[in-house]
């Protein structure tokens, strides 16, 4: 069966109290909308339509970065969830198959749940995703009659008896496209909010003699984010799940609760992550690496046997080959560090390549930025870069070259050459002693005067 996804993401999210549209707030550094899109991707949808409204352009941009084929349907006025789905009609013109409606603010949906909805949908005209709520609060309630779902009643419109129901509406549904749009056409807005409620399609379908049922999932999956507190709670849930998965897959987390992961963090088995490590988006780490305490990594790849940190910062474009060493207070960006190379202390290596087995001395800086443009530094194999070398890019050091400590390198250094660029040292006998005496005398005069 072909499916199309319709993801509702037009709402303002008033309770977020934010200039950023709600669905763009991140969980594990990935916008909520992207979490929803990734969940929906398991159905290999033939079309994906994102219904946008508040912050439409920003939302559309994020959606199309994730999936360049995602279609955008703008809902200018947020007149309710049924009205939102209706906006997808044009984008689904000519589409035949099932429509699965998802919400951009329910990021925890699991693939199995969507697969189950599709499976059950094959035997029913309309399938709603429900969940048993620990605290049903303001969720819509599912009024069941055996296997049949009779209707969904919004909290605001529910009687006391209906409010006692704990099976709640997640908002997600699956239905044949033609059928769904026909049902939506019949939805009115005569209710407590004056909105076109998507859940009303249930009762309309029942009245038309269609079969309607519900599939239930655990509440964690349908968790909707409506406030910053919800967002923080959702992130916490995400983190504990992701950590548990890593532990299960053979990664050592010395203090799991202090390791902050991104949604796409990949770590190979037998890698050790020390306490207080933060992963930004786009990090992959192979097996058997060690990430020491207080390191921050984003957009980088770390190969087998590499040791990073403590207190290292790997920024986007960093590629560490096998058995490399990145030590304390080292920052790398757009840097390819070849096998066995070491950058152990207090360095900035940006827009650079470092050859195999090269050693970068403490305090070395690639001066990659001239205030206007960025320039490349190329360092060969088996190079020894002396401490506190300034590499003024664009510049290169040939294989086997050396730089003297404190050298400012402005010209390319040929293979096996030694570059020295610093002023000559002069020692003045007895001068230190004289200078001390002079200064002490000055201090004594000042203290007397005061």
Which positions touch ligand UD1 (CB under 6 A)?
Answer: 8-11, 51, 53, 75, 78-81, 83-84, 103-105, 139-140, 152, 154, 168-171, 197-199, 224
Q: Are 295 and 277 in contact (CB under 8 A)?
A: yes
CB of 30 to ligand UD1, least distance (A): 17
CB of 10 to ligand UD1, least distance (A): 3
* Of 80-88, 206-214, 221-229, 384-392: span binding Ca ion (CB under 5 A): 221-229
Q: Are 232 and 25 in contact (CB under 8 A)?
A: no
Measured CA to CA, the distance from residue 218 to residue 266 in angstroms comes to 26
Q: Does 363 bind Ca ion (CB under 5 A)?
A: no
Q: Does 78 bind Ca ion (CB under 5 A)?
A: no
Binding at 169: pick from Ca ion, ligand UD1, none (beta carbon under 5-8 Å per type): ligand UD1
Instruction: Compute the 3-state secondary structure of the chain and give helix, strand, coil in percent, each to the nearest 5.
Output: 25, 30, 45
* Residue the block writes with tokens 């990090």: 283
Measured CA to CA, the distance from residue 74 to residue 53 in angstroms comes to 6
**Pick from 105, 104, 121: which is nearest to 5 by CA?**
104
Binding at 333: pick from Ca ion, ligand UD1, none (beta carbon under 5-8 Å per type): none
CB of 4 to ligand UD1, least distance (A): 16
* Of 134-142, 220-228, 234-242, 411-419: span binding Ca ion (CB under 5 A): 220-228
CB of 127 to ligand UD1, least distance (A): 15
Measured CA to CA, the distance from residue 124 to residue 246 in angstroms comes to 38
Residue 373: CB partners within 8 Å, gap ≥ 6?
none
432 torsion bin: left (phi>0), alpha (psi -120 to 50), beta (else): alpha
Q: Does 224 bind Ca ion (CB under 5 A)?
A: yes
**Active site includes 375?**
no
Measured CA to CA, the distance from residue 308 to residue 343 in angstroms comes to 10
* Annotated catalytic residue, options 54, 301, 345, 375: 345
Task: Indicate the DSSP class of residue 289.
Answer: -
Binding at 285: pick from Ca ion, ligand UD1, none (beta carbon under 5-8 Å per type): none
Binding at 139: pick from Ca ion, ligand UD1, none (beta carbon under 5-8 Å per type): ligand UD1
Binding at 40: pick from ligand UD1, Ca ion, none (beta carbon under 5-8 Å per type): none
Measured CA to CA, the distance from residue 326 to residue 296 in angstroms comes to 12
Measured CA to CA, the distance from residue 38 to residue 94 in angstroms comes to 24
CB of 137 to Ca ion, least distance (A): 11
Active site positions, annotated:
345
- Positions touching Ca ion (CB under 5 A) are 224
């Amino acid at each position: 069966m072909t499916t199309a996804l319709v993801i509702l993401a037009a709402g303002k999210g008033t309770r977020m109290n934010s200039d950023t549209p709600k669905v763009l707030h991140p969980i594990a550094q990935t916008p909520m909308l992207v979490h929803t899109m990734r969940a929906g991707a398991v159905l290999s949808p033939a079309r994906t339509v994102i219904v946008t409204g508040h912050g439409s352009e920003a939302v559309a941009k994020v959606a199309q970065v994730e999936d360049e084929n995602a279609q955008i349907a703008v809902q200018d006025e947020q007149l309710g969830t049924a009205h939102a789905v209706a906006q997808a009609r044009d984008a689904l013109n000519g589409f035949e198959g099932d429509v699965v409606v998802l919400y951009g603010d329910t990021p925890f949906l699991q693939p199995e749940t969507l697969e189950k909805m599709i499976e059950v949908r094959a035997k029913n005209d309309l399938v709603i995703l429900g969940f048993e709520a620990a605290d049903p609060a303001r969720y819509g309630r599912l009024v069941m009659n055996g296997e049949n779902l009779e209707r969904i009643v919004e909290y605001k419109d529910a009687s006391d008896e209906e409010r006692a129901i704990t099976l709640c509406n997640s908002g997600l549904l699956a239905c044949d496209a033609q059928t769904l749009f026909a049902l939506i056409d019949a939805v009115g807005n005569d209710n407590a909010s004056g909105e076109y409620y998507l859940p009303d399609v249930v009762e309309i379908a029942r009245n038309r003699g269609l079969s309607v049922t519900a599939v239930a999932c655990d509440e964690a999956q349908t968790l909707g984010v409506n406030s910053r507190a919800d967002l923080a709670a959702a992130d916490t849930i995400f983190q504990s799940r992701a950590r548990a998965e890593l532990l299960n897959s053979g990664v050592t987390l010395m203090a799991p609760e202090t390791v902050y992961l991104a949604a796409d963090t990949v770590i190979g088995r037998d890698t050790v992550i020390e306490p207080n490590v933060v992963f930004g988006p786009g990090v992959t780490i192979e097996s058997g690496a060690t990430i020491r305490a207080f390191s921050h990594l984003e957009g980088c790849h770390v190969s087998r046997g590499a040791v990073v940190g403590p207190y290292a910062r790997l920024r986007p474009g960093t590629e560490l080959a096998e058995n490399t060493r990145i030590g304390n207070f080292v920052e790398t960006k757009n840097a390819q560090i070849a096998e066995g190379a070491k950058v152990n202390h207090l360095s900035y290596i940006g827009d650079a390549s470092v050859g195999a087995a090269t050693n970068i001395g403490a305090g070395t800086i690639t001066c990659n930025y001239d205030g206007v443009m960025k320039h490349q530094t190329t360092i060969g194999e088996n190079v020894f870069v002396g401490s506190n070398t300034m590499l003024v890019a664009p510049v290169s050091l040939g294989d086997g070259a050396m730089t003297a400590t404190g050298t400012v390198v402005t010209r390319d250094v040929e293979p096996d050459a030694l570059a020295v660029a610093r002023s000559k040292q002069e020692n003045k006998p007895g001068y230190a002693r004289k200078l001390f005496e002079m200064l002490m005398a000055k201090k004594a005069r000042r203290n007397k005067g005061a």
